[in-house]
Amino acid sequence: MPDEVRPSPDALLRAAEREGRGTLKIFLGAAPGVGKTYEMLLEGAEKLEAGSDVVIGVVETHGRKETEALVAPLPVIDRKKITYKGQLLTEMDLDAVLDRHPEIVLVDELAHTNAPGSRHPKRWQDIEELLVAGIDVMTTVNIQHVESLNDVVGSFTHVRVRETVPDKVFENAEIELIDLPPEDLIKRLADGKIYVPEQARHALDHFFSKGNLLALRELVLRHAAQYVDARIQEHQSVMGKDGGYTGGQRILVAVSESAGGEQVVRAAKRLADALKAPITALYVETPAAAGFSDAERTQLARNLSLAASLGATLQSIPATSVREAMVVQCKEVRATQVVMGKSRGIRRRWFRRRDRMVQDILDRTSGVAIHLIPFDEQARPSNWRRFIPSGSWAGDAVGIASVAALTSAAALAQDWIGRGPIDMLYLVPVIATASFYGFRAGLVAAIAAGLAYNFFFLPPYYTFIIYSPVNVITAILLVIVAVITGQLAARARAAAALAMRSARENAGLARFATRLGAASTTEETAQLIRDELRSLLAVQTIVLHPAGDGIEITAFGQTKPKLTAVDRAAAEWVMDHGEAAGTGTDTLTASEWQFRPLKTSLGTLAILGFRGPPGRAPIPSERAALAESLIDQAALAHERLKLETDMREMEVVRQRDSLRAALLASLSHDLRTPLTAVTAAAEAISATGDEAELVETVRSEARRLNRFLSDLLDLTRIEEGAVTPDLAPIDLTDVIVSAVNDLAKSLAGRSVLTTIDPTLPLVRADAVLFNHALLNLVDNAAKYSPETEPIEIVARMGRRGPVIDVLDGGPGIPPGSEQRIFDRFARGETSDRTGGSGLGLAIVKGFVEAMGFTVEAARRQQGGSRFTIRIPHDAIVHVSMEDIG
């Protein structure tokens, strides 16, 4: 009969918390253009016709006629207007939607970032407020915006998505997958139904390549199945039903102390890779583990270590029955594939029990496939000690002594109680001894009790000879009953010991997490981690951190251990590669320590070192899963401290930059007023002879200082984000000619060569910012090249858009300085001779990037420097014949 399944209290609590909230439906797609918004609007229109109160909170049609046609019949709540840096932006009016309080609201683009000044920085937070108010929401999102998949998508699309949605948003949502084959999506893109033709061509070569679309489609299909599976599991937990259905594959591999366990783990890994499924490695620790030999303990540790290195989640469960634990865990992890090992011809009796375990799993679960992996295991050498139950000689002595004491007491009291109840009294020392000292001590006490009862209380007395058949049966039954009760008592003792150890470990984990949360410095955290791991794992533990070119022990016990050269090499290897090394691993096994990385998404932040007693594994096999949990918590604690430190440093930098910007702005304004007066006075002075030369010096230096102050003001505007480009169609020829004319006076006597492609299109840019950027580039070329060398300006059509090159014949940019040259106050090798503030190129970079362009620097092969402004296809203005007419 299937085990009874009761509703989960946690699931019932979560269901209760959802009462009164609105429901969220997410239309999930692999890429833009698959039809998410279209399907959302279509369902919204259907619900409106069915009598529901449906409104549009915000929908982006992107100029698609089919989408606009679906918007028309639906009521739309006007958007809220927000002015930011001189630009008028529109966002969903959250307050208007709450006041209207419809049954259903359609909110497009779940991952959208709201304009500064909105109530919430993210649209998904707006939706959360609507759900709390009891309003149902329909929304859309692409798979690349899921937070946990951001780096996965970026790894093959080479596009880092900045707008992401936390995974928790999807937990209680209804997911509807909008699927479209890549071939159909590419055709829609080519037909101009997603982007304009020029953007479409660029997209096909990059994000919308067929390989990317296939990978995105597989990703969205798998994760949609996982979300659905989670909903099914939640529903079954609430209803107290075990439907046996899982939406994805899950692998559970049984790990034992057998030498063939490595083959079993590798087979499970191959199966998990083929099915692209998560894998859990389960070790069931029974009382029999206390009798493992050193070789068996070592092999078990190797098997668990191999499973962890292959990406398996380790679970070590104390239990008195392996079969029962396997069945329970199959249900807990909802396993669909169970992998176990079976030796060829060795320990046949044990594997008859394994066959019963297989049958139990088949009978008590549903939908589970079981894989038995055969392996060859060498027969173990005969050892008579293996047939003796584990225990202590002290327990055996106590058992014999307790039977002797009871015999003496019974001999004295038999005149009052008779011989009848004496055989039952012998059960007392058997049960007591088994309860306190284990099965072996109870077995010794049972045998001693049978012999004592026969010798002292059965005729003929003081011999082991029994004449009466009744007395024979009585003596035999006494031994049998004593053995059975002793075994039951020993099992109860073992179960209690396992439960106590499990409770102690859980309490230790909780205490560890609490203390880590209270730690505020790296040193305090490191020492806390060392002390707790030493206590819970019962092995010598140290913590190491990067220090200069190497590593340094930052937390240790009473005395700081000395690491050998091999130990240091192993620790440094862990820091560089983020993988375990040292004894018990596959790397630098000569080290006495086993080093484990504290690794997070930020990289390897610290190292833990473990060393066990001589001849023992650095981490006991029965505590391998506990060690993994502790290491994960320690890594997260270091990540928290690192992020807090980074945030504090960023705040200091922000305050410093804000103060510096304010100082520069104030200084520039305060100095500009007297400079203007000096320049005007110099212009007004009419002088001849020596005075004329002095006046010209005053005039030129005042102008140079004025340009420097202008550069400071421009840089301050850029860094404060106050540069708002006024984008309009401009002719690149006009911008280049205007810049050359503006510099005609300062470039007097210099040769400036311009080569402009007559077929260059109009581009959308800010004419003033573009002109200023070109002025600085040409002025920079004039400063860093001899007067005899010409300055060239070349405007041409590149593969991805218009390109403007400014070339000079100077010494060229030093190798490796191509990026640094655009930093503030960065100056070239000849800057001492040429003067300059070192701000010009930083201003160029700021203005160019504000318009959505890029600028780069390179060293010319024939000598000199090349500065290139690249204008993307998106900025090209396409003029049709209708526009001309």
In whole numbers, what is the pLDDT of the chain averaged over residues? 78
Determine, yes or no, domain membership for 507.
no
* Domain end call among 345, 378, 411: 378
Rounded Cα gap, residues 77 and 106, in angstroms? 10
pLDDT at 474 over 70: no
Block residue for tokens 């083929």:
274
Q: Is residue 634 domain-shared with residue 583, that is, in the same domain?
A: no
Indicate whether 511 belongs to any domain: no
Same structural domain for residues 833 and 707?
no
Residues 94 and 135 sit within 8 Å (Cβ to Cβ): no
pLDDT at 350 over 50: no
Mean pLDDT, residues 496-520:
74
| Whether residues 359 and 289 fall in one domain | yes
What residues form DSSP beta bridges with 54?
A: 104
157-195: pLDDT as tens digits: 666 677 888 888 887 788 888 888 878 777 776 666 665
For residues 60 and 105, state if they share a domain: yes
End residue of a domain, out of 722, 753, 782: 722
Higher pLDDT, 767 or 85: 767
Q: Are 135 and 104 in contact (CB under 8 A)?
A: yes
Average pLDDT over residues 657-682: 65
Cα 689 to chain centroid, rounded? 76
Residue pLDDT, tens place only, 607-644: 999 988 877 778 876 677 778 878 888 888 888 888 78
**Range of weakest confidence among 403-407, 417-421, 685-689, 723-727:** 685-689
Total tally of structural domains belonging to the chain: 6
Length of the chain counted residue by residue? 885
| Residues 178 and 298 grouped into a single domain | no
Query: What CATH number has the domain bearing residue 322?
Result: 3.40.50.620
For residue 83, list its beta bridge partners. 88
Query: What distance in Å separates the CA atoms of residue 189 and residue 72, rounded to the nearest whole number?
Result: 24
Check pLDDT > 90 for residue 33: no
Cα end-to-end span (Å), the chain: 84
Contacts of 158 (CB under 8 A, 6+ apart): 206
Indicate if 449 and 303 belong to the same structural domain: no
CATH number for the domain that contains residue 704: 1.10.287
pLDDT on residue 232? 65
**pLDDT greater than 50 at residue 461:** yes
Give 20: exposed, middle or buried? Use CB within 10 Å, 0-12, 13-18, 19+: exposed
Regarding whether 285 and 154 lie in a shared domain, the answer is no
With bands split at pLDDT 50, 70 and 90, how would you rate the model's confidence at 402?
Answer: confident
Q: Is residue 383 part of a domain?
A: no
In tens, the pLDDT along 724-757 reads 778 888 999 988 988 888 887 777 778 889 999 8
Greater pLDDT, 825 or 540: 540
In terms of Cα–Cα distance, which of 597, 595, 592, 545 is closest to 564?
592
pLDDT: is 321 or 51 the higher one?
Answer: 51
Rounded to whole angstroms, the Cα distance separating 213 from 702 reads: 60
Examine the pLDDT at 385 and tell me if it is beyond 50: no
Tell the residue number behind the tokens 């087979």, with chain if given. Answer: 267
Asked if residue 624 belongs to a domain, the reply is no
Residue 102 has pLDDT above 90, yes or no: yes
Number of other residues whose CB lies within 10 A of the CB of residue 758: 6
Considering the domain boundaries, does residue 71 fall inside one?
yes
Q: Is 73 left (phi over 0), alpha (psi -120 to 50) or beta?
A: alpha
Q: Which pLDDT score is estimated for 793?
A: 92
Q: Is residue 780 part of a domain?
A: yes
How large a percentage of the chain has pLDDT more than 70?
75
Q: Tell me: pLDDT of 581 over 60.
A: yes
The conformation of residue 621, written as its DSSP 8-state character, comes to G
pLDDT for the residue numbered 162: 76
Residue 734, number of CB atoms within 10 A of its CB: 11
pLDDT at 388 over 90: no
Question: pTM for the complete prediction?
Answer: 0.49
* 384 in a structural domain: no
For residue 522 the two structure tokens come to 């790296």
Task: Point out the least confidently predicted range of 4-18, 27-41, 363-377.
Answer: 4-18
pLDDT at residue 709, rounded to an integer: 66
Final residue before a domain boundary, out of 570, 588, 614 = 614
Q: What percent of the chain has pLDDT over 90?
A: 9
pLDDT at 882: 41
Residue 457 lies in a domain: yes
Q: Are residues 742 and 816 in the same domain?
A: yes
Q: Which tokens belong to 409?
A: 């007491």
Domain range enclosing 444: 389-495
The half-sphere exposure of 800 on its side-chain side, counting CA atoms within 13 A, is 11
Looking at the structure, tell me whether residues 192 and 262 fall in a common domain.
no
Same structural domain for residues 150 and 274? no
161 and 189 in a single domain? The answer is: yes
Residue 58 has pLDDT above 60, yes or no: yes
CATH of the domain at 104: 3.40.50.300
Return the ∠ at Cα 784 (arms to 779 and 786), rounded to 5°: 105
- The label of the residue with tokens 């006076």 reads 745
pLDDT for residue 139 is more than 90: yes
**In this structure, are 764 and 874 located in the same domain?**
yes
